[in-house]
Amino acid sequence: MRPRPKARDNGRAAQAQETRPRPSRQRGDVEELLGYYRQMLLIRRFEEKTAEMYQRAKIGGYCHLNLGEEATCVGLAAGMQPNDYLFTNYREHGYALARGIDPDRVMAELFGRETGVSRGRGGSMHLFDVDKRLMGGYAIVGGQLPLATGAGLALQRTKQKDVVVCQMGDATTNIGAFHESLNLAALWKLPVVYAIVNNGYGMGTPVEGGSAVVELHEKACAYGMPGVEVDGDDVLAVRDATREAVERARADHTPTLMNLKSYRLRGHSVVDPDRYRSEDYLRRIRGLDPIKRLADELRDEGGIETRTLDEIDDEVERVVNGAVEFADESPEPNPEKLFELSYATEVPNQPSALPGQAAWQ
Ligand SMILES: Cc1ncc(C[n+]2csc(CCOP(=O)(O)OP(=O)(O)O)c2C)c(N)n1
């Protein structure tokens, strides 16, 4: 058996702290920063509540949280135009919220209710909202990449000006679909931005345990496209890098690979006891909390009082509690109608069939 790679603390956490000087001036409009702060806090409280609701068995199936990755969710969404398309992996609640989908409908989807964003048919890993141009939520690692690339091809062929952003995890860069997709996007000049949310781990395997190239943006050179490393704990850095890549894709159809270096504060999914990361590593990444960082910046350079930040926290907590109430009171989907949204063509529905029995002859 191959020796298990050491818990990943390869100096990145410590180094990250050293290479992040406090900005010497206010970097953005305070109102805008407060908006990002609220969105990030909403994701934080929503995900904490999701973990609680999972433990209370209100949510079933697989469930992956964006805790610690809030700056990537909000920064990516802020760097896109409302008409641009977003494809994500299964760790996507935060992206749905950052795109402006009502938290009530996101929570209802996690509860598997008819009022959910995917009418209760998708659950945590399959959030989909065509109005907000969130094109899913995919459970198969790398599954979103060929679809996002195909969407880019469709936009190019129909001469539309919209851009596709395709989010993925770090381990996804080791999947065949990653390489095929980037190759075609570069070859055909497709308006797609590939955004790695690099939280350092694919389940329990650290980046250096699964990838021959550890600096993942360097993989872009194989396809002659720009590869950009971004501080994924800094919402403004993520927004600005995304905006630049998205506008480059829009202007001359040059795809980009972004490597957003971030951390996840908990295990891979809500049932992962997270035994492969050392206490020391966890302590250090907690010190890099993107929300605390933005709060400090707002206080120190924006002149915002702690009281104002606390009020925002109270307000988002009410929103999240309201979302739970809404989800809890919403009806379950009618089993008679389950196939209605699953297939483009009509399929006979036999909800009385037992598991393992063919649904139709
Ligand atoms: C094709 C495929 N292989 C394996 C799995 C099981 N699996 C689910 S998540 C995951 C790790 C992916 O890690 P990464 O791409 O870094 O994303 P993250 O979970 O960190 O967001 C694996 C191996 C899967 N869902 N699909």
What is the average pLDDT value for the chain, to the nearest integer?
91
Compute, in angstroms, the gap from residue 37 CA to the centroid of ligand 1.
29
Atom 11 (ligand 1) nearest CA: 202
Beta carbons within 10 angstroms of residue 122's beta carbon: 20
Confidence of residue 1 (pLDDT cuts 50, 70, 90): very low
CA gap 29, 329 in Å, rounded: 39
Of how many residues is the chain composed?
Answer: 361
pLDDT at 320: 98
- Nearest ligand 1 atom to the CA of 199 is 20
- The 3-state DSSP class for residue 117 equals coil
For 220-245, the pLDDT digits (tens) are 999 999 999 999 999 999 999 999 99
Compute, in angstroms, the gap from residue 285 CA to the centroid of ligand 1.
21
Q: Give whole-number Cα distances, 342 to 44, 78, 346, 347, in Å.
A: 31, 31, 9, 9
Contacts of 336 (CB under 8 A, 6+ apart): 349, 351
Compute, in angstroms, the gap from residue 39 CA to the centroid of ligand 1.
26
Q: Give whole-number Cα distances, 14 to 156, 235, 267, 281, 304, in Å.
A: 43, 20, 21, 9, 28
For 45-61, the pLDDT digits (tens) are 999 999 999 999 999 99
Number of H helices, E strands in the chain: 12, 8
Q: Give whole-number Cα distances, 31 to 19, 290, 304, in Å.
A: 27, 18, 10
Tell me which CATH code domain 29-331 carries. 3.40.50.970
Beta carbons within 10 angstroms of residue 333's beta carbon: 18
* pTM attached to this predicted model: 0.91
* Mean pLDDT within 102-123: 97
Whether the pLDDT of residue 359 is over 80: the answer is no
Pair of tokens at residue 214: 């550890």
Atom 18 (ligand 1) nearest CA: 169
Per the model's pLDDT, the better-predicted residue between 16 and 64 turns out to be 64
Compute, in angstroms, the gap from residue 247 CA to the centroid of ligand 1.
29
Whether the pLDDT of residue 249 is over 70: the answer is yes
Atom 4 (ligand 1) nearest CA: 141
Among 142, 247, 253, 143, CA closest to 188:
253
For 291-341, the pLDDT digits (tens) are 999 999 999 999 999 999 999 999 999 999 999 999 999 999 998 887 777
Ligand 1 site, residue 69, Cβ cutoff 6 A:
no
Per the model's pLDDT, the better-predicted residue between 25 and 323 turns out to be 323
